[in-house]
Structure 1
Amino acid sequence: MVSPKVHAALEAARKTPAPGYRDLLTTIQDLSPPEDLATDLQAVLEDILDANLGVVTTRILMREYIPIIKSQASSNPNLAIKVGSHALQVIAQKTTISSSFIDQTSNIREIIATAYENLEDWTSAARVLSEIPIDTSQRRLADDEKAGIWVRIVRCYLEVDDATKAETYLNKLKNIMHKVSDPVTNLHFKLSTARIQDSNNSFLNAAHSYYDISLIQEIDEDERFRTLSMAIKCAILAPAGPQRSKALGKLYKDERSIKLEEHGILEKMFFDRLIEQDEVEKFSKGLAPHQLAKTSDGSTVLARAVCEHNLLSAGKLYANIGFDELGVLLGVSGERAEDTTAKMIEQGRLKASMDQIGRYIYFEAGEPSGESGSGHAEAVFGKEIRRWDASVHTATEDVERLANLLQAEFPLFVASNLMVK
């Protein structure tokens, strides 16, 4: 029910529509009681659209109407959502003019999305923003405007940890970001890229992305330290190997890292020292839920990263070690230690060879190449096995050479006695 003062103002406005509705929109927040403002705004818009004032005049009135909704997005987001959604519905019903108000409906959708964001309803905000037309025959946006909308959608989905949907819009952004000049949009794009890499467990790439952001002088110092902290966490969670070692070196040598809580475990990993369980538990308290998620083998990402790191550290302490003893050192079973070792050798992340019969690993000097398939995980190794193989190979060559000599000197004898019929 329309409030009495607004009802009277509507009656007066209908007599001189163009100036009358403008005057009403200018004073409506004074005329309408707070509890009736949503209903009154809905009634005024319906009246304006029913008046058939023409597209030009209606657009002018909409320019007065939309800021009223916008002013409520922060202070009264529920009202902004209610009035904005009603406006979209009413305009859509006017099929003869709806296509002429694409800019206005797009502005209303952005206001509704802002209201949802203020209510921390990120999924609804992303949905409303995705309904904004980007490229149509009536409306074409510049690359900066497209990027601004898509970045907001990405950030909303990331707030609810929906990396899959966020990545869909991030991929759209990748095609136009080289044309976008707005520094804020570029920063949000870089940060969103890092967060998606992080959510997808692409920790090494995420570490590089976060670190690059931490070097941007234009952003707040606290934000630079926060992204540096995230870079260290992701580098620690990355698979052990030469590429991670390079990332750890860069982070450790950054003089800012000593001020962060993660510096202790970073230092140990950089110098290939064994990580104790209490240090792992302390570090895990600062991780996000997805960074503590379990992998397909039942262990957490952190447990796997520490296990692989300690395996590399063991290579600095021992020339060889049994699988069961290695399992005790790593805090896993002997079979798990064997599987981890084989996998790291095969992926070129560990220089070692395995005697799977004697259940021993022999560490080799030098740094691993990091190239997949460069290890020896598929073969059986060990000094005694290698000597035995060499002896067998020599013996078979001697037998073959003797058979060839007999064939040359005594062909009939060989044919009658040695040849298999």
Structure 2
Amino acid sequence: MATAGTLASSQVTEALLALEDAQASKKAQGYNELLDTILTTSTPDQLPSNLIAFVQSVLGDSVGIVTSRPLLASFVNKLASLPDADVKIAVGTEAIEALAPKVVSYEEQDSAIKLMLADSHEQNDDFTSSAKVLQQITLDSSQRHVTDDDKAKIWIRITRCYLEEDDPTNALSYLNRVKNVIYNVQDQPTKLQFQLSQARISDSQRNFLDASNSYLNLSLESLIDEDERLHALSAAIICAVLAPAGPKRARQLARLYKDDRTPQCDEFSILEKIFLDRVLSPEEVRAFAEKLQPHQMAKTADGSTVLDKAVLEHNLLGVSRLYSNIPVTNLGAMLGVDADRAEAYAAQMIEQGRLSGYIDQIDGLIHFSNEATNGEGFKSGVPSIGTRELRMWDANVQGLAEEVERVTTMIQTTHPEFYELKMGA
């Protein structure tokens, strides 16, 4: 039994039946007044069922489309203003189901309900459900014109929802849709969200060089707050550190190191050491690891983390700057790994053109040339002789030739008869 002043569900049902039989001219005002009564007098337990009954009545055959459209629009606005996300989800889900058979006639209202429902799911941190609701919005319609800006906003929002759930695969599929229309998009915030989503997807998929470049470009956008730009710059530094060592990363590190803003970032110290090819200590690596996100600490095929691999490759490059050659066992000790693993990393980097040198497995030595490569690697199966060794060979040959010439000149000066005899012969 309802208490005084409270409108029970049975009373709502009776009021709705009366409105369905009322004259068309009185229906709009009657429904609006009833909706206000439901919102102000229903108990929390009764509110969802009362609102569901209301929207089903509005969409019934007794109420014409001309009347029901503005009523439904008003209903969505008032429903969206409710603080309880669960109530909005329950009512919004039922409203979408009621609209499904006649959605062609109510596309604008249907989209508004789905956007409200997506907001409610995000309010509950349920981003997957939000994405699924947004996917149901009709964007290619003959009944209403949907601009590229509107399409991009929906697709970007779906992308961001999947990124919040750490699902870069689905996020990428909707980001690719945005790519088809982004050049027609005029809304600047949407463009910025597109750039940010690109960076986050590359980051999640461990394409750290691409992510670093995207974050860096985002940090240069003047429309973003200063704090957000510095945050993007920090993300660019972190991704650059995690990227595979080699010429491409070196160029990205140079861009970041020369940026006047990087000294303001906490990551500047490790950036400077990596840019200057200084070997990183375990303490520095542990301090840096505390700032990383879970996917940036994921295990690779050999059991090490992305950071472990990046640091090992960097330290290997640092060693190559200090030595012309080094025994494999000594290299492993310097890198903190066994000799076989050190040799495997060196071989992989040489093969990929990220380290210039060659491995002498007979003598157990790795020779470094200290010459930058073009990133295209070396021919498979052919040992790469470093440029330094070739220059040393040329210098020795030249020195020997000059010494022979000097001795010949001395013989000619001191013993001209012997010289003529030999040269003439």
TM-score (ref. length: structure 2): 0.84
Given that 1:26 and 1:64 are in contact with CA atoms closer than 8 Å, whether structure 2 keeps it comes out as: no
- The unaligned stretches of length 5 or more in structure 1 are 388-421
Q: 1:288 and 1:342 mapped to 2: Cα distance?
A: 30
Aligned residue in 2 for 1:287: 292
Aligned residue in 2 for 1:52: 62
Which letter maps to 2:351? Answer: E
What secondary structure, in the 3-state scheme, does the structure 1 residue paired with 2:81 have? helix
Q: 1:333 and 1:121 mapped to 2: Cα distance?
A: 46
Aligned residue in 1 for 2:277: 272
Shift of 1:7: 5.1
Aligned residue in 2 for 1:89: 97
Which letter maps to 2:39? Answer: Q
285-294 or 364-373, which moves further after superposition?
Answer: 364-373
Matched, 1:366 2:371: yes
Which letter maps to 1:13? Answer: L
Shift of 1:339: 1.3
Which letter maps to 2:336? Answer: G
Q: 2:264 and 2:288 mapped to 1: Cα distance?
A: 15
Q: 2:246 and 2:17 mapped to 1: Cα distance?
A: 77
CA-atom RMSD, angstroms?
2.1
Query: Displaced runs of 4+ in structure 1, greater than 6 A?
Result: 380-383
Match of 2:232 among 222, 227, 233: 227
Shift of 1:118: 0.7
Structure 1 residues 141 and 372: alpha-carbon distance in aligned structure 2, compared to 1, 3 A threshold: farther
Given that 2:357 and 2:385 are in contact with CA atoms closer than 8 Å, whether structure 1 keeps it comes out as: no
Which letter maps to 2:315? Answer: N
What secondary structure, in the 3-state scheme, does the structure 1 residue paired with 2:59 have? helix
Which letter maps to 1:128? Answer: V
Structure 1 residues 166 and 34: alpha-carbon distance in aligned structure 2, compared to 1, 3 A threshold: same
Matched, 1:338 2:343: yes
Match of 2:112 among 107, 111, 117: 107
Deviations 1:190-244 (A, max 9, x none): 0000000001111011001001111112111221111111100000001111111
Which letter maps to 1:204? Answer: L
Q: 1:348 and 1:317 mapped to 2: Cα distance?
A: 19
Given that 1:3 and 1:40 are in contact with CA atoms closer than 8 Å, whether structure 2 keeps it comes out as: yes
Deviations 1:28-58 (A, max 9, x none): 3223334422121111122222352221111
Which runs of structure 2 are paired with 1:102-181 in the superposition (5 Å)? 102-181=107-186
Shift of 1:380: 8.1
Q: Percent identity?
A: 45
Q: 1:332 and 1:185 mapped to 2: Cα distance?
A: 47
Shift of 1:146: 0.5
Aligned residue in 2 for 1:310: 315
Q: 1:61 and 1:225 mapped to 2: Cα distance?
A: 47
Matched, 1:379 2:383: yes
Which runs of structure 2 are paired with 1:251-270 in the superposition (5 Å)? 251-270=256-275
Match of 1:79 among 87, 90, 100: 87
Given that 1:349 and 1:368 are in contact with CA atoms closer than 8 Å, whether structure 2 keeps it comes out as: yes
Aligned residue in 2 for 1:10: 16
Deviations 1:346-388 (A, max 9, x none): 11111112212111111113222222336x77438798xxx9x
Which runs of structure 2 are paired with 1:403-418 in the superposition (5 Å)? none
Which letter maps to 1:18? Answer: A
Shift of 1:139: 4.1
Shift of 1:91: 2.2
Deviations 1:102-126 (A, max 9, x none): 2211211111110000110011111
Shift of 1:2: 4.0
Given that 1:348 and 1:371 are in contact with CA atoms closer than 8 Å, whether structure 2 keeps it comes out as: yes
Which letter maps to 1:157? Answer: Y
Given that 2:378 and 2:384 are in contact with CA atoms closer than 8 Å, whether structure 1 keeps it comes out as: no
Q: 1:174 and 1:342 mapped to 2: Cα distance?
A: 38
Which letter maps to 2:310? Answer: A
Matched, 1:187 2:192: yes
Aligned residue in 1 for 2:328: 323
Given that 1:13 and 1:19 are in contact with CA atoms closer than 8 Å, whether structure 2 keeps it comes out as: no
What secondary structure, in the 3-state scheme, does the structure 1 residue paired with 2:366 have? strand
Deviations 1:155-193 (A, max 9, x none): 000001100010010111111101111111111110000
Shift of 1:90: 1.8
- The unaligned stretches of length 5 or more in structure 2 are 1-6, 394-425
Which letter maps to 1:77? Answer: A
Given that 1:5 and 1:31 are in contact with CA atoms closer than 8 Å, whether structure 2 keeps it comes out as: no
Q: 2:246 and 2:124 mapped to 1: Cα distance?
A: 44
Matched, 1:198 2:203: yes
What secondary structure, in the 3-state scheme, does the structure 1 residue paired with 2:199 have? helix
Q: 2:195 and 2:314 mapped to 1: Cα distance?
A: 29
What secondary structure, in the 3-state scheme, does the structure 2 residue paired with 1:50 have? coil
TM-score (ref. length: structure 1): 0.85
Total equivalences in the alignment: 378
